[in-house]
Amino acid sequence: MRFLILLVTIAYFALAAASFDYVIVGGGATGLALAVRLSEDSSKSVVVLEAGGTGFGNVNITNLRLSRSNFGTPEDWQFVAVPQTHGGNRVQAQAQGRVLGGGSAINSGMYTRGNEIEYDALETLGAKGWNWKSMFAAVKKSERFFPPSTPDVQVLNVTFDPAFHGIAGPVALSLQALNISRLFPAVVVPTLRALGFEMNFDSNGGRHNGPSWNYLTVLPDTSTRSHAVSGYYLPVASPLDNPGGSKVATLNGANIILSASTLNTPKILELSGVGDPNVLRSIGIDVQIDLQGVGANLCNQPMSTGTSFLMRNGTVDVGNAIRSAILDFLSRSLRS
């Protein structure tokens, strides 16, 4: 039997028992997956701390088409970036899930993998074993791919490579053939082909150049979101996970795992005295460990439409070519 306990909205709940083999801070995509895998060993006790609520029954979470309505709600940490010098000093929202499942509960479910070059770079930088080969095996293990249905394949000419997909994992991947997708084979593919780009049959194999289909983390039968909660946690959840009991001031973990996201994990480390001494001292925190990289070096990318290309020097502006072709297609469709 598993020993897996979930504490949501930790300000309100506390436990009688206070010592665990693993205390996982953050019940997001990473924390829940880790908790479920670690609790497969029935001799180990695991507790997950989540600052937000469960999100159970929230249609904005389950219905992927409503995902944007989570932004700015209590399910979102509602972080904002500092004014961006190279973006006209605009202040951009940085949505981040504050609910069980974390980002996987409020994102728009677009599934993509990095490029093999990027994963191999992690190993080159010193993270032994973190390379494309091992990551590819791991992401396939987490995946339950639903091949596009016959009408999608015929009408939209969807292609995929079975070798790039797992079929037995917890995260469902499927294609939601919205009508807008017709633009892709009708306009985008021919336009890009005319510009010299070949179709990418399936971008899930570590190469992204060329037009390709983008799958969503959605269950095809119910059209509901597949995420860390539905894929990892709920299948193993037990009544034990419903917290109660007397309050305790501290939780002890033989292993403490911080999985509180890119933005909150460094914050917790810094509040614990782990970080750049100059930053910590300036806000009156005693330095426990001098680790200057904490809270630094974040690179984020603007949202793109999911199309990426390696450009030759001096290449044409693909953006304008696609934009005018799409506008042309839309105005003709609206007229007919």
- Interface with ligand NAG by CB under 6 A: which residues? 58, 60, 69, 73, 157, 159, 178-179, 185, 199, 201, 313
What's the closest the beta carbon of residue 62 comes to ligand NAG, in angstroms? 10
What's the closest the beta carbon of residue 105 comes to ligand NAG, in angstroms? 12
What's the closest the beta carbon of residue 19 comes to ligand NAG, in angstroms? 35
Closer Cβ to ligand NAG, 80 or 178, answer by number = 178
**Nearest-CB residue for ligand NAG:** 69
Closer Cβ to ligand NAG, 58 or 272, answer by number = 58
Closer Cβ to ligand NAG, 190 or 245, answer by number = 190
Closer Cβ to ligand NAG, 201 or 309, answer by number = 201
How many Å apart are CA 14 and CA 17, to the nearest integer? 9
What's the closest the beta carbon of residue 73 comes to ligand NAG, in angstroms? 5
What's the closest the beta carbon of residue 294 comes to ligand NAG, in angstroms? 33
Closer Cβ to ligand NAG, 58 or 214, answer by number = 58
